[in-house]
Amino acid sequence: MKTAAILILLIVTMGVLCSPVSAEDIGPRLVVSEYRLDPAVLMKDDVGVLTIRLTNSGTDPATLNSARLNGVEIQVKQNPYTDVLPIGPGDSLSFTYTVRTEASDGLYYVKFSVDYREGSTLRYSIPVEVDSTPLRILVVETPDPLAQGSKGTYRVVVGNPRPNDATAVTVIPEGEGFLVTPSSSFIGTLEPDAQFPLPFTVVPLRQSFIRFRVNYKNGINTHTATVTLPLDPSENRFQPDLALTNIRVTAGPGYLRIAGNVTNIGLEAARAITLTTGGDATPADPFRVFTAGVIEPDRSSPFEVTFRSPSSVSQVPVLLSYKDAEGTTYTDSMDVEFNRETLAEQASEPSRFITLLVWMLVIVVAALIIYAWRKG
């Protein structure tokens, strides 16, 4: 019984050893084990980098004669792999190609072909998606009312309707005739179907427009999208408004003095008020700059500034700066005219008076001396 079992086992073993080995189970076997396109989805005129990983899953090494990538709608900018390359069993090689497309939206294919000495060719089709949908930028909230010189908030939302990530996303407000904070906002990476809200504080100074521009990258490619809104601010009737009244110019020792009243004729309090001279006038001691904390509506404050200027100057600007309750800065100026000759005469009058007093004193002293001499 044991002999029969042993005989059967030997027969089975001989059959296995004598079985023919399939040609597919020996020799090299090349397969595309992975591929990656950066960016994952191209936009029209984009440049992308396609990386293909080739693996030898066979039992023997392979010697590559060439590895090429070809496409029609997707253009291959270079095919650098034309030298002999060995790839051992279980090993992998990576091939990198630069591609570009001018095609419209759709799904296209590039063909990866590998020739190797062992008498076989590998051909593999790789899909490439083209979708030129840009990022969306929307203004979801605007200030109402929009008043000249007053702060208002614009709320902007940036959305990504694309099938892949957008990177280096930045929003920049553009235009003239307004002040804006912040001057730009960086979002970074925006994933598909994601959105990001941003506030911008705007102070309109005149009628103009404001454009919000979003810059972003798809891979190494830079793209942009914009939205433009008109700026048509109404006059702010509630802002502070300063006026200079009762202006007089006098001469001092080595300087000229401008004095008067600064009056708030607006409907809001003026804060952080400063006055000084500009143009050809150089502020001088003792009152280079006039400052005041708060001037309420319909209230006045006396001011005084001193300066020096060339003898040919007969007009100097007085510069005003002040803020409202929100911290918005307002500036204004008023030209003050004066006559140099008149000021010179005014300056000489005190010295003439002093001279007259001295002479009168001399006469009185002389009269007293003569009187005392005669009496004695």
Confidence of residue 252 (pLDDT cuts 50, 70, 90): confident
Query: Is the distance from CB of 210 to CB of 229 less than 8 angstroms?
Result: yes
List, in order of start, the domains of the chain with CATH numbers: 26-130 (2.60.120.570), 136-231 (2.60.40.10), 242-341 (2.60.40.10)
Residues linked to residue 230 through DSSP beta bridges, in sequence order: 209
**Considering only CA atoms, which of 188, 67, 49, 42 is closest in space to residue 128?**
42
Res 314: pLDDT: 81
Sequence-ordered strand ranges (E) for 265-345: 270-277, 282-283, 290-295, 300-308, 315-323, 329-337
In angstroms, the first-to-last Cα distance of the chain is 183
Res 119: pLDDT: 63
pTM: predicted TM-score of the whole model, two decimal places = 0.61
Strand order in the sheet with 290-295: 290-295, 270-277, 315-323, 329-337
**Which tens digits make up the pLDDT trace of 260-305?**
999 998 888 999 999 999 888 889 899 899 999 899 988 999 999 9
Mean pLDDT of 52-63: 89
**Which tens digits make up the pLDDT trace of 8-33?**
554 444 443 444 444 445 678 889 99
Percent of the chain with pLDDT over 90: 47
Q: What angle do CA 368, 373, 374 make, to 5 degrees?
A: 100
Neighbours of 18 (CB within 10 A): 7
Could you give the 3-state DSSP secondary structure of residue 25? helix
Q: How far apart are CA 164 and CA 67, in angstroms?
A: 29
> What is the four-CA torsion angle of 27, 32, 33, 38, rounded to 10 degrees?
160
